[in-house]
Amino acid sequence: MTIYILNCISMSPWWPRWQLGGTCLLVETDEGPVLVDTGLGLHDYLRPSLRVRFFLADFGVRRDPERAAARQVTAYR
C-alpha cells in the first residue's frame, strides 16, 4: 500500500495573514486508488457557487484547478 499526500487547496485568509493548505490523501490499494477528504472539487474551482466564491474570497484561496484532487490523481496514474 502506498500513501500520497496531496495539497488540494492553498489559502491565505485576510484576518490573520497565514498560508494554509488543505491536505487530502491518495491511498493505492490492491483494489485500486482510494481518495480520502477530497477538499474543493474541480467544479468549485472552475464554476464556484456564490457560497463557494465567498469562501474562496474570505480565505484567500487561489483559484487553481490543478489543485483539485481529480487533477492530481490523474497526474499520479
Q: What is the pLDDT of residues 46-70, one digit of tens each?
A: 999 999 899 888 888 888 898 888 8
Which residue(s) pair with 6 in the sheet? 24
Q: How confident is the model at residue 29 (pLDDT cuts 50, 70, 90)?
A: very high
pLDDT confidence of residue 11: 76
Rounded Cα distance between 17 and 32, Å, is 39
Of 3-7, 19-23, 72-76, minimum mean pLDDT range:
19-23
pTM of the predicted protein model: 0.60
Q: Is the pLDDT of residue 16 over 70?
A: no
